[in-house]
Amino acid sequence: MKYKIFTYGCQMNIHDSEVIAGVLEKAGYEPSETLKDADVVVLNTCCIRENAERKVYGRIAQLKYFKQRNPNFTIAISGCMVQQPHVVEYISKKLPYVDILFSIKNVNKLPELIEECRRIDSITAALAGNSDLAENLEVKHTSSIKAWVPITYGCNNYCTYCVVPYVRGREVSRLPEDILREVKTLADEGFMEINLLGQNVNSYGKNLDKPFDFPELLRRINEIEGIERIRFITSHPKDLSDELVLAMKECEKVCEHIHLPVQSGSSRILKKMNRHYSREHYIELVNKLKDAIPNISITTDIIVGFPGETEEDFLDTLDLVKTIEFDSAFTFIYSKRIGTPAAQMEDQIDDEIKKERLKRLMELQDSITKRKNNELVGTVQEVLVEGESKNDAQKLSGRTRTNKLVNFVGPKELIGHLADVKITESHTWCLIGEAVN
Ligand code: 5AD
Ligand code: SF4
C-alpha cells in the first residue's frame, strides 16, 4: 500500500505531515512519488485565507478522476479546513467521493480509519480531537539536518481577522521535559538545527502547572550538545519580553533572526485587529532587538485592506516598513474568514483597492530586501548546507544564521555541515556565493 500527502499552509502543517507520514509508514505504508500509484491520498489543509481553501478544493476535484478509475483509492482530509463545521457539511453533501475527514489530533488512528472506510461506504469522520497531547508519535523527518519541534498547539489571541483559534483550539504548551527529551534525541540522531514551532512561542508555558517560560526553554536547549542552531516561529510582539531579548543575545546557538508579524503600521487598525500593541510599541521592540543583537534580521507579516483601512492607515504601514527596514515580509490581502469578528465589520475594502495597496507595499519591500541583500555582497557568511540547490544541481544550498537562502559553489562533502561562504551576488530571493577554504 502506498500513500501520498499534499500539504498546504504553515510550518506547523508541514510538521504535522511529517507525523502523518511517520504513522502511515509504521503501519506498513510506503511513500508514492505519483498520484497514479497511490492507494491513499491525504490532504493536510489550511484555511487561513480564501485562496488556500480554493487550492484544496481544486485538488479534491482532481482526485475524483482517480477515484472513478479505482474504487479502492482512499481520499483522507485533515488539517485546519476540516475543523470548520461549514466545510465538513459542504464536503459531506457535495463531495461524497471523499472517504475520511480526520482531526490531526487523531492522526494515530489513521490506519484504522482507512481500514474502516474500506468496509463501509460512507464518509468516515474522526473530527472530535482527543484532548490529550499526543507524545511519542513517529515522525518521518523531511530533512536529516534541521528538525521542527512543536512547543505549543493552538492560539488564545483571537486577532479579529484570524480563523486559527477557532480551528486549532486553545493554546496548550507541551511539557518542557518532553520538548527537551525530543531535542536531545534529535541531537543524538545528528540534527544540527532545531526550529521551535507555535502560533505564539513567546507565550510558551503560560498554562503549565510549574512555571517555565520561553526564554528559559531557549537557555535549556542552548545547552544541548550537538545542536548548532536554534530558531523559533512565530513571535507575537505583545509577549516579547526583555528576558527573551536577553536570552537571544546570550544563547550563542539562537540565530540572529526573528519573525515578528506586525500586520499593520497603523495603531488604529492594530486596535481593530485586537493585536494589543501600538505602532510605537512595535518600533521600540525592534530597537531593543537591534541594540542587543547586532545584525539581527527582522522579518514580518503584513495584511493590507483590513476592514476600515483608510489610505492614511495604509500610508502608516508603508512608513513603518521604511522605518524598520524589514529583511523581508510576507504580505497578504485581507481575506474574510467565516466566524471571525472582522468578517462582520461593515467597512470592508474594495478588492481593487486591496490589490493596488498590496502592489505598492510589495514594491517598497522588494526594494528594501534587495538593498539589504546587496549589502552582504563581499562578506563571508556561515551557511548550514542543506543539499543541492533546487534550481541548479551544480550549486549547493543553505541558509545564513539570519535565515537568508544562499546558493553557492562548493564541494558536495559540505552537505550537512557549517560552511563559510563568500557572497558574490544578490537577488531579491536569494544570495549567490562560493565556499571559502
Ligand atoms: N487574511 C489575510 N491574512 C491573514 N493572516 C491571518 N489571517 C488572515 C486573513 N484573514 C496572515 C497574518 C498571519 C499570517 C500567518 O497570515 O499576517 O501572521
Ligand atoms: Fe491568528 Fe493572531 Fe493567533 Fe497568529 S496570534 S494564529 S494571527 S489569532
pLDDT grade, residue 434 (50/70/90)? very high
Task: Provide the 10 A C-beta neighbour count for residue 26.
Answer: 13
Q: What is the DSSP-derived secondary structure letter of residue 150?
A: E
Cα 389 to ligand 1 centroid, rounded to whole Å = 30
Cα 121 to ligand 1 centroid, rounded to whole Å = 37
- Nearest alpha-carbon partner for 151 in 92, 230, 76: 230
pLDDT averaged over every residue in the chain: 95
Mean pLDDT over 24-33 rounds to 96
- Nearest alpha-carbon partner for 242 in 292, 168, 307, 302: 292
Give the number of the ligand closest to the Cα of residue 9: 1
Mean pLDDT over 35-49 rounds to 96
pLDDT greater than 80 at residue 33: yes
The residues, ordered by sequence, that sit 6+ positions from 393 with a Cβ below 8 Å of its Cβ are none
Asked which of 15-19, 133-137, 406-410 is least confident by mean pLDDT, the reply is 133-137
Task: Provide the 10 A C-beta neighbour count for residue 352.
Answer: 8
Ligand 1 site, residue 13, Cβ cutoff 6 A: no
Instruction: Tell me the pLDDT tens digit for each residue of 161-171.
Output: 999 999 999 99
Q: Which alpha helices (H) appear in 147-193, and where do they start and end?
A: 164-168, 176-188
**Is-above-0.85 flag for pTM?**
yes
CB-CB contact of 103 with 133 (8 Å): no
Element containing residue 420 per DSSP (H, E): strand 418-426
- How far is it, in rounded angstroms, from Cα 172 to Cα 260? 21
Of ligand 2's atoms, which has the minimum distance to the CA of residue 275?
A: 2
Give the number of the ligand closest to the Cα of residue 152: 2
CB-CB contact of 30 with 64 (8 Å): no
Q: How far is CA 84 from CA 100, 337, 342, in A?
A: 15, 11, 17
- Nearest alpha-carbon partner for 305 in 274, 275, 345: 345
Cα 66 to ligand 2 centroid, rounded to whole Å = 36
Q: What pLDDT score does 73 carry?
A: 92
Query: HSE-up of 272 (CA within 13 Å, CB side)?
Result: 21
pLDDT greater than 60 at residue 131: no
CB-CB contact of 402 with 257 (8 Å): yes
Ligand 1 site, residue 48, Cβ cutoff 6 A: yes
Q: What is the DSSP-derived secondary structure letter of residue 254?
A: B
CB-CB contact of 332 with 305 (8 Å): no
Q: For ligand 1, atom 7, which residue shows the shortest CA distance?
A: 162
- How far is it, in rounded angstroms, from Cα 346 to Cα 83? 26
Ligand 1 site, residue 263, Cβ cutoff 6 A: yes
Q: For ligand 1, atom 12, which residue shows the shortest CA distance?
A: 301
pLDDT grade, residue 50 (50/70/90)? very high
- How far is it, in rounded angstroms, from Cα 409 to Cα 179? 36
Give the number of the ligand closest to the Cα of residue 161: 1
Cα 57 to ligand 2 centroid, rounded to whole Å = 24
pLDDT grade, residue 130 (50/70/90)? low
Residue found by looking up cell 487598525 in the block:
269
Phi (first) and psi of residue 401, to 5 degrees: -60, -30
To test the pocket of ligand 1, the residue of 303, 304, 306, 340 to mutate (highest count of ligand atoms within 8 Å of its CB) is 303
List the end-to-end C-alpha distance of the chain, in Å, as a whole number. 47
Of residues 4 and 118, more confidence is placed in 4
- How far is it, in rounded angstroms, from Cα 45 to Cα 43? 6
Residue found by looking up cell 510550518 in the block:
11
The residues, ordered by sequence, that sit 6+ positions from 58 with a Cβ below 8 Å of its Cβ are none
pLDDT greater than 90 at residue 123: no
To test the pocket of ligand 2, the residue of 172, 200, 301 to mutate (highest count of ligand atoms within 8 Å of its CB) is 200
- Nearest alpha-carbon partner for 217 in 157, 257, 177: 177
Q: For ligand 2, atom 1, which residue shows the shortest CA distance?
A: 162
The residues, ordered by sequence, that sit 6+ positions from 316 with a Cβ below 8 Å of its Cβ are 264, 265, 266, 267, 279
- How far is it, in rounded angstroms, from Cα 376 to Cα 395? 19
Mean pLDDT over 194-198 rounds to 98
Using DSSP, state whether 412 is helix, strand or coil: helix
Give the number of the ligand closest to the Cα of residue 331: 1
Greatest distance between any 2 Cα atoms in the chain? 64
Instruction: Tell me the pLDDT tens digit for each residue of 256-315.
Output: 999 999 999 999 999 999 999 999 999 999 999 999 999 999 999 999 999 999 999 999
